[in-house]
């Protein structure tokens, strides 16, 4: 029979197991560098072109629009699966975890994996698409409003970085309302993740301030106008 102290330690370690069982596979799933793999399948090292980032925006610019969209969808699904399927499997094999906490741990681990991927030298994306997938599972109403903020900013400016920062700020505010996020620990974690997204965009923010940030071009006319603007800034 276990002594009282040993019994408490045993139950404490057992209660930790579901969260570890969710976090580890979710981090590994998040670490799969889809942007890098897709670009490599097209014969290009995405880390040596454009912004050198493995995220969807750089793939969109340097590899092509369909490949950028595919990268975004796959990165989104990483976050969604990490906050839904992975916790469900973890709780099946290691019962005892709180469902909301498992989803939060799984989603946050996937975002960490995407941002600092073990399979790509810990140099990953900025966490926007994977974070959106996580949020779609945890607080779909908030992510819907944040996406609206992203879309509006994108439509007005064509700056992906500014749109992403705007969405992160909107999200960080919304999650403190019980209407959008009734689980208080999630508000703290999601605010921290929004902060990570903003910090990961610090170089973009610096370029926005200097007026040298690249806009995303959807048409040949937009691309031509952007080229003229760049030529005027760098005569």
pLDDT tens digits, one per residue of 63-92: 998 999 999 999 999 999 999 998 888 877
Lowest mean per-residue pLDDT among 37-51, 83-97, 190-204 = 83-97
Max Cα-Cα span within the chain: 81
When pLDDT is cut at 50, 70 and 90, the band that residue 16 belongs to is: confident
Q: Output the pLDDT for position 72.
A: 96
Q: What is the C-alpha separation between 227 and 199, in angstroms, rounded?
A: 28
Distance CA 140, CA 4 (A): 44
**pTM confidence score:** 0.81
Mean pLDDT for the chain overall: 86
Q: Could you give the CA distance from residue 156 to residue 173 in angstroms, rounded to a whole number?
A: 22
The residue-averaged pLDDT of 184-210 equals: 91
d(CA 56, CA 45) in angstroms, rounded, equals 14
Report the pLDDT value the prediction gives residue 88, as an integer from 0 to 100.
87
The predicted model gives 192-213 an average pLDDT of: 91
Residue 103: both structure tokens together: 């989803």
User: pLDDT class for 11, splitting at 50, 70, 90?
Assistant: very low
User: What percentage of the chain reaches a pLDDT higher than 70?
Assistant: 86
* Cβ 128 vs Cβ 164: under 8 Å: yes
**Residue 235: predicted pLDDT:** 53
């Amino acid at each position: 029979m276990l002594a009282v102290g040993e019994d408490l330690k045993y139950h404490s370690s057992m209660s930790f197991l579901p969260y570890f069982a969710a976090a580890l596979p979710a981090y590994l799933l998040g670490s799969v560098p889809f942007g890098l793999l897709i670009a490599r399948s097209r014969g290009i090292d995405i880390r040596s072109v454009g912004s050198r980032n493995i995220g969807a925006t750089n793939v969109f610019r340097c590899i092509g629009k369909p490949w950028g969209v595919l990268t975004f969808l796959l990165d989104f699904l990483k976050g969604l699966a990490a906050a839904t399927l992975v916790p469900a499997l973890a709780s099946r094999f290691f019962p005892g975890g709180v469902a909301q906490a498992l989803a939060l741990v799984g989603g946050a681990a996937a975002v960490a994996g995407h941002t600092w991927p073990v399979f790509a030298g810990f140099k990953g994306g900025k966490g926007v698409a994977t974070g959106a997938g996580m949020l779609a599972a945890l607080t779909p109403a908030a992510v819907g409003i944040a996406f609206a903020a992203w879309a509006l900013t994108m439509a007005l400016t064509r700056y992906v970085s500014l749109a992403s920062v705007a969405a992160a700020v909107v999200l960080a505010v919304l999650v403190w309302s019980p209407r959008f996020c009734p689980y208080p620990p999630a508000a703290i974690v999601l605010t921290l993740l929004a902060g990570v997204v903003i910090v990961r965009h610090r170089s973009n923010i610096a370029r926005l301030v200097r007026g040298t940030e690249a806009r995303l071009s959807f048409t040949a006319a937009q691309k031509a106008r952007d080229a003229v603007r760049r030529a005027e800034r760098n005569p």
